[in-house]
Amino acid sequence: MLEKRYNPKEVEKGKYELWKNKGYFKAGDISKKPFTIVIPPPNVTGKLHLGHAWDTTIQDIIIRYKKMQGFDTLYLPGMDHAGIATQAKVMEKLRKNGVDVTKISREDFLKTAWEWKEEYANNIHEQWKQMGLALDYSRERFTLDEGLNFAVRTVFVDLYNKGLIYRGERIINWDPVQKTALSNVEVIHQDDKGYMYYFSYPIVDSNEKLIVATTRPETMFGDVCVVVNPKDRRYSKYVGMKVINPANGDVLPIIADEYVDLSFGTGAMKCTPAHDPNDFLIGEKYHFPKPIIFNKDATMNEKCGVYQGMDRFECREALIENIKKDGNFVKMEEIVHPVGHSERSNAVVEPMLSKQWFVKMRPLADQALSNQKGKNKVNFIPPRFAKVFSQWMEKVDDWCISRQLWWGHRIPAYYHKDSGDCIVSIEPPKDMENYIQEEDVLDTWFSSALWPFSTLGWPNTSSEDFKRYFPTDVLVTGYDIIFFWVSRMIFQSLEMTKSIPFKKVVIHGLVRDEKGRKMSKTLGNGVDPIAVIDTYGADALRYFLTTNSTPGQDMRYIEEKVVSSANYLNKIWNSARYVLSVLPSDFNEEKMVCLSSMDHWIVNRLEETIRNVESNMEKYDFNAASTHLYNFVYDDFCSQYLEMSKVALSSDDERKKNATYHVLYHCLKNIILLIYPYTPFIAEELYLNLPKHLDSIMLESYPKYHPQLIDKEHDEEVEFLFDLIKDVRNYKILNKLAPNAKLELSLKTNKTLFEDFNVYLERFTFSKLGDLQNKQGEIKNYPLGQMTIYSNVDSGELRAKLEKDIALEENEIMRGEKMLGNENFLAKAPKDKVELEKEKLAKHRLVLEELKKKLASL
């Protein structure tokens, strides 16, 4: 017997272990068609947040749904080593433990990092368990494990040999806190307040000056020239002359290049080739040297004279003061301009010339773009995200993949100790004693990019898993990592496996707080999914997360909605409790026979619901799918059929009762099965309480639409009955009568109503049917007939009510007449529509007549 109230803690207890131990999460039934989702591997840096909960719940719903549809589903788990983020956290931990991290060896650091990984992996496993994810743990992977490392080396060497990976000196984004290079997507541009400084540069052999503007005066130590536009009449006379750099007295040539924008700043631009990407190009073009002026921590280096050792921003201030003293300061203006920050450390990123490893993107991007135009493209859901992807691919720069870190895949390049020659190979050279391996590791996303195939055994293309489960079917992820991850998986997969990595990408948004703000540590507005589960249960959280937004749209976390999700589950719980309590102890599920009109009606509604749920599940529109089920559960099943069933069950007719048992059971079972992918715990609990069941709901099939079960012959009469009941209830409330007040009714209809129609009507209106021809009453009209409610309400109120109804009817008639009086409408609208409007108009006219008669008789 079920408890009176749904208790998620009790319901969820032990179920996950059971599923897992029984092997229900394991893929490998080769008699079925495979269906694969790989989890986006979470970072081993901390706890999972609501965004993960949302993401994985969508995946789990799809997996559980597909499994019930008879697929051999593989939901592959794994985690990401998250290079920079994890290294920072491990370093911090070491520092807290009193370790001098500047002296620690690579090996010692890595040992601590692996311990960290174990600890956090455990946390994540616990969270996956609480969320109820149907993950096949026998196939779990880690981006830094042996097999994935082999895949990474294989890809690296292959791309290198094809000329798609190269080592070169270019301007990269330098994070002076983490002391590593970053890729472009790891730099966040935000609008910061700053200043535009104007300095005068004295012209050599002249009394004139050139005024140059800059936002970063400290880079003046790296300047090699001043550039003006050749079309700029203000400055053309100076081209070829020289100026004095007010920062250090260097003599710099004035050159002309089209790049300079006449209208920006003063039209004269200082050029720092080692610390600005555009200046770098000019430096290359005119063969200037490219002096680097920063140390790795963004302090000033030996090229900066007295400023050596100063932090870049201190140097800026000091330098400005000195320029002021020298009389070369012109002015400064406050401006707001985009400044690059490191995604991880938030430090202001310094563009810096550096020797790094790069992936040559153009050929790979073009391949991905042309693939999107073909038949085997990756389908984005919603489709607009395909555009986001292709626009990025169209203008992507080369990808800087080397990182000056320890935690990651070490680049498989080896330098000869004497000659310096570089060998790139999967395995180290045989005479390794003569070589030194590249110190740098790869960008974390380099290994993540291989995830859909490296986890399935690639590069061993004859691996059973790779052959069977690749390409994967669906990838679910947030729009915020399309560039980081989705796009890179696509081009790497196309290049390495000659196939797309997944057929579909289901994109969702971000979870925000109730005010619509992004959840962040600094705001302290993050919500811990485990805390939510603790209070409301995993099912309520899962249901909330997947039924409160449209695909691709952001969502707000609103606790009341989690509460109402839990209330909905309680509703289902209680409806189950009712059904199970009325079923006879020897109930045995058989074919539904001898159905009453009422029984047919609910079965019809259920079939429609199944059809709608199915079609929306196929579109990954979980909000729409669940809304259909919700309406069925509340309005059709609980509010109507379940109440009505009490009539049949209280009769003496065994045939009627038996039909009702079967229909109740049929509906309940289908509700449980339909909602199961969303809320597996409660569904399993209720399922196991059914009189007849398999060992687990996970072994069941998902309900299918069976049009042959539909019989709508008496649906209209059933709806008629509901209308009558509703109107009597409404009448009582309007007339301040108690809900159970006894009234007398009469009913006129020219249709033979289904058996027990009057019994239902009397019972649910607490009223008595009779012939009230000689009494005064309120008349109500319906398509199938007319009801009169005997009334002793005073005539004033009745008159007001009638007048209101008349106004409403007149309004309807006006609308109809206007529409039908429009010749264009008659000519162009579909015939059905015109007929419908004609019928409606006739009906309203009839009703109006009745109402007027009634009013006159008062």
Partner RNA sequence: GGAUGCUUAGCUCAGUUGGGAGAGCAUCACCCUUACAAGGUGGGGGUCGGCGGUUCGAGCCCGUCAGCAUCCACCA
- C-beta closer to RNA: residue 827 or 856: 827
Angle between helices 757-765 and 715-734 (to 10 degrees): 20
Q: Does 162 bind RNA (CB under 7 A)?
A: no
Name the nearest CA neighbour of 596 among 761, 709, 755.
755
Q: Which stretch binds RNA (CB under 7 A): 264-272, 290-298, 415-423, 488-496?
A: 264-272
- 712 Cβ partners below 8 Å, 6+ apart? 600, 604
Site string for RNA, 395-434 (x = CB under 7 A): x-x-------------------------------------
| Alpha-carbon distance values, 274 to 218, 244, 304, 457 (Å) | 13, 20, 14, 43
Q: Are 620 and 546 in contact (CB under 8 A)?
A: no
Q: Does 4 bind RNA (CB under 7 A)?
A: yes
Q: Which stretch binds RNA (CB under 7 A): 367-375, 402-410, 456-464, 573-581?
A: 573-581
- C-beta closer to RNA: residue 27 or 671: 671
Q: Which stretch binds RNA (CB under 7 A): 118-126, 146-154, 561-569, 847-855?
A: 561-569
Q: Does 651 bind RNA (CB under 7 A)?
A: no
Q: Which stretch binds RNA (CB under 7 A): 49-57, 269-277, 416-424, 461-469?
A: 269-277
| Alpha-carbon distance values, 151 to 113, 470, 495, 728 (Å) | 22, 15, 13, 73
Q: Does 106 bind RNA (CB under 7 A)?
A: no
| Six token digits for residue 635 | 């309005």
Using the rule CB under 7 A, which residue among 123, 322, 404, 627 binds RNA?
627
Size of the site for RNA (CB under 7 A): 89
Task: Tell me whether residue 804 is exposed, middle or buried, using C-beta atoms within 10 angstroms of its C-beta: 0 to 12, 13 to 18, 19 or more.
Answer: exposed
For 717, what's the count of Cα atoms within 13 Å in the CB-facing half-sphere?
Answer: 21
Q: Does 825 bind RNA (CB under 7 A)?
A: yes
Name the nearest CA neighbour of 592 among 581, 584, 600, 580.
600
Site for RNA in 599-618 (CB under 7 A): 615-616
**Closest approach of Cβ 233 to RNA, in Å?**
15
Q: Does 312 bind RNA (CB under 7 A)?
A: no
**Closest approach of Cβ 462 to RNA, in Å?**
39
- C-beta closer to RNA: residue 123 or 278: 278
Q: Does 829 bind RNA (CB under 7 A)?
A: yes
Q: Does 563 bind RNA (CB under 7 A)?
A: yes
Q: Which stretch binds RNA (CB under 7 A): 65-73, 180-188, 415-423, 791-799?
A: 180-188
Using the rule CB under 7 A, which residue among 95, 106, 355, 833 binds RNA?
833
Using the rule CB under 7 A, which residue among 266, 447, 604, 765 binds RNA?
266
Beta strands in 543-643 (DSSP E): 555-556
Site for RNA in 347-386 (CB under 7 A): 384
- C-beta closer to RNA: residue 95 or 726: 726
**CA 783 to chain centroid:** 47
Name the nearest CA neighbour of 678 among 13, 61, 49.
61
Using the rule CB under 7 A, which residue among 122, 391, 434, 651 binds RNA?
391
Q: Does 105 bind RNA (CB under 7 A)?
A: no
Using the rule CB under 7 A, which residue among 153, 242, 270, 600 binds RNA?
270
Q: How far apart are CA 663 and CA 607, in angstroms?
A: 12
- C-beta closer to RNA: residue 252 or 698: 252
Q: Does 742 bind RNA (CB under 7 A)?
A: no
Q: Does 278 bind RNA (CB under 7 A)?
A: yes
**Closest approach of Cβ 307 to RNA, in Å?**
19
**Closest approach of Cβ 723 to RNA, in Å?**
10
DSSP state letter for 792: -
**Closest approach of Cβ 477 to RNA, in Å?**
14
DSSP state letter for 652: S
Q: Does 189 bind RNA (CB under 7 A)?
A: yes
Using the rule CB under 7 A, which residue among 5, 96, 193, 831 binds RNA?
5
Using the rule CB under 7 A, which residue among 358, 453, 483, 702 binds RNA?
483
Q: Does 341 bind RNA (CB under 7 A)?
A: no
Q: Does 550 bind RNA (CB under 7 A)?
A: yes
Owner of token pair 């012939």:
771
Q: Are 338 and 193 in contact (CB under 8 A)?
A: no
Site for RNA in 797-816 (CB under 7 A): 811-812, 815-816
Q: Does 234 bind RNA (CB under 7 A)?
A: no
Q: Does 20 bind RNA (CB under 7 A)?
A: no
Q: Does 740 bind RNA (CB under 7 A)?
A: yes
Q: Does 295 bind RNA (CB under 7 A)?
A: no
**Closest approach of Cβ 418 to RNA, in Å?**
40
**Closest approach of Cβ 809 to RNA, in Å?**
11
Task: Tell me whether residue 760 is exposed, middle or buried, using C-beta atoms within 10 angstroms of its C-beta: 0 to 12, 13 to 18, 19 or more.
Answer: buried
Q: Does 285 bind RNA (CB under 7 A)?
A: no
Q: Which stretch binds RNA (CB under 7 A): 429-437, 521-529, 680-688, 817-825?
A: 817-825
SS3 state of residue 248:
coil
| Six token digits for residue 850 | 């009745």
Q: How far apart are CA 628 and CA 616, in angstroms?
A: 9
- 135 Cβ partners below 8 Å, 6+ apart? 25, 39, 75, 76, 77, 128
Q: How far apart are CA 485 and CA 447, in angstroms?
A: 10
- Taking residue 664's Cβ as centre, other Cβ atoms within 10 Å add up to 25
Owner of token pair 């430096």:
283
Angle between helices 529-536 and 538-546 (to 10 degrees): 120
- C-beta closer to RNA: residue 65 or 637: 637
- Taking residue 40's Cβ as centre, other Cβ atoms within 10 Å add up to 20
Using the rule CB under 7 A, which residue among 503, 556, 838, 845 binds RNA?
556
Amino acid at 351: P
- C-beta closer to RNA: residue 740 or 773: 740
| Six token digits for residue 583 | 């079923």
**Closest approach of Cβ 478 to RNA, in Å?**
11
**Closest approach of Cβ 679 to RNA, in Å?**
15
For 457, what's the count of Cα atoms within 13 Å in the CB-facing half-sphere?
Answer: 13
- 151 Cβ partners below 8 Å, 6+ apart? 447, 450, 453, 454, 458, 459
**Closest approach of Cβ 350 to RNA, in Å?**
13
Task: Tell me whether residue 104 is exposed, middle or buried, using C-beta atoms within 10 angstroms of its C-beta: 0 to 12, 13 to 18, 19 or more.
Answer: middle
SS3 state of residue 493:
helix
Q: How far apart are CA 97 and CA 90, in angstroms?
A: 11
- C-beta closer to RNA: residue 60 or 398: 398
> Is the Cα dihedral 409, 412, 418, 419 positive or negative?
negative
**Closest approach of Cβ 540 to RNA, in Å?**
9
Using the rule CB under 7 A, which residue among 91, 213, 698, 747 binds RNA?
213
Q: How far apart are CA 739 and CA 735, in angstroms?
A: 11
Using the rule CB under 7 A, which residue among 520, 588, 701, 730 binds RNA?
730
Q: How far apart are CA 99 and CA 113, in angstroms?
A: 14
